Amino acid sequence: GLAAMLAHEIKNPLSGIRGAAQLLELSASDEDRALTRLITDETDRIVSLVDRMEVFSDERPIDRYPVNIHVVLDHVKAIAKNGFAKKIKIMEDYDPSLPPVFA
């Protein structure tokens, strides 16, 4: 689609810019090397951003399958407890009769 075409058109010149910065770095002074590294780091960052945006333009159908929601919630709780919810008490009251959800 359009997003994939735009991603391609953005990434092509970035590849050339990054390559040119790498070539310049070979004969650059220490001060200029810092600038060429900045150019390569920032082009990599833009490419990464475009790659992440491209996921949202994927027009393939999503492959959904039945999932036990209790397992998903336990996984999310474990992640939260290791991060933002370290000092938060999470209370669970799951309905054991819940059918699988498609995810």
User: Percentage of the chain surpassing pLDDT 90?
Assistant: 50
The pTM is what? 0.54
* 18 and 51 part of one domain: yes
Please tell me the predicted confidence (pLDDT) of residue 103.
Answer: 87
Residue 54 has pLDDT above 80, yes or no: no
Q: Are 90 and 81 in contact (CB under 8 A)?
A: yes
Report CA-CA distances (Å) from 19 to 16, 30, 43, 50. Answer: 5, 18, 10, 18
Q: Which of 15, 16, 8 is nearest to 54 (CA)?
A: 8
User: Percentage of the chain surpassing pLDDT 70?
Assistant: 97
The verdict on residue 60 lying in a domain is: no
Run of H or E residues at 102: strand 101-102
Residue numbers of the domain that contains 82: 66-102
Mean pLDDT of 51-74: 83
* 97 and 71 part of one domain: yes
* 51 and 77 part of one domain: no
pLDDT tens figures, 18-48: 999 999 999 999 989 999 999 999 999 999 9
The verdict on residue 10 lying in a domain is: yes
Average pLDDT, the chain: 89
